[in-house]
């Protein structure tokens, strides 16, 4: 189940034994600082968690698969996140949820029969 900003704030408030209001200010300040650092082109390195950085992507020409029209895609900057070893190790230990059983396929009708 995805965790949103408010869910994260409540969880942090509980772990830190702080009010939701204090924690909201802290989480917002943290996220603002990460964003501002990336806007300057700098890297945010959180040892054990991961690294946020800015990556340049080159301009390219793509093709619209429906119309086959060529589209020029301009160069741009993107945010890149590389998970740290501790985070990767924690995620690696998650047990996969059992796969949902697919409905049995219907047999195709025999040729010549309706």
- Cβ-contact 70, 63 below 8 angstroms: yes
Answer yes or no: pTM beyond 0.85: no
Instruction: Give the separation between CA 30 and CA 49, rounded to whole angstroms.
Output: 14
- Domains recognised in the chain with CATH numbers: 1-40 (no CATH), 43-92 (4.10.520.10)
pLDDT in tens, 49-95: 999 999 999 999 999 999 999 999 999 999 999 999 999 999 998 87
3 state SS for the chain: CCCCHHHHHHHHHHHHCCCHHHHHHHHHHHHHHHHHHHHCCCCEEECCCEEEEEEEECCEEEECCCCCCEEEECCEEEEEEEECHHHHHHHHCCCCCCCCCCCCCCCCCCCCCC
pLDDT beyond 90 at 96: no
CA angle 54, 60, 79 (to 5 degrees): 15
Assess whether pLDDT exceeds 80 at residue 17: yes
Q: What are phi and psi of 110, to 5 degrees?
A: -65, 150
Distance CA 61, CA 77 (A): 17
């Amino acid at each position: 189940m995805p965790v949103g900003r408010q869910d994260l704030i409540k969880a942090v408030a509980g772990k830190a034994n702080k009010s939701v209001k204090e924690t909201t200010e802290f989480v917002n300040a943290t996220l603002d600082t990460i964003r501002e650092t990336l806007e300057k082109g700098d890297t945010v390195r959180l040892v054990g968690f991961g690294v946020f950085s800015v990556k340049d992507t080159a301009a390219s020409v793509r093709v619209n698969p429906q119309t086959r029209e060529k589209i020029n895609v301009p160069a741009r900057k993107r945010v890149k996140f590389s998970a740290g070893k501790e985070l990767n190790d924690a995620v690696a230990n998650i047990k996969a949820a059992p796969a949902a059983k697919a409905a049995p396929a219907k047999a195709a009708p025999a040729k010549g029969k309706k």
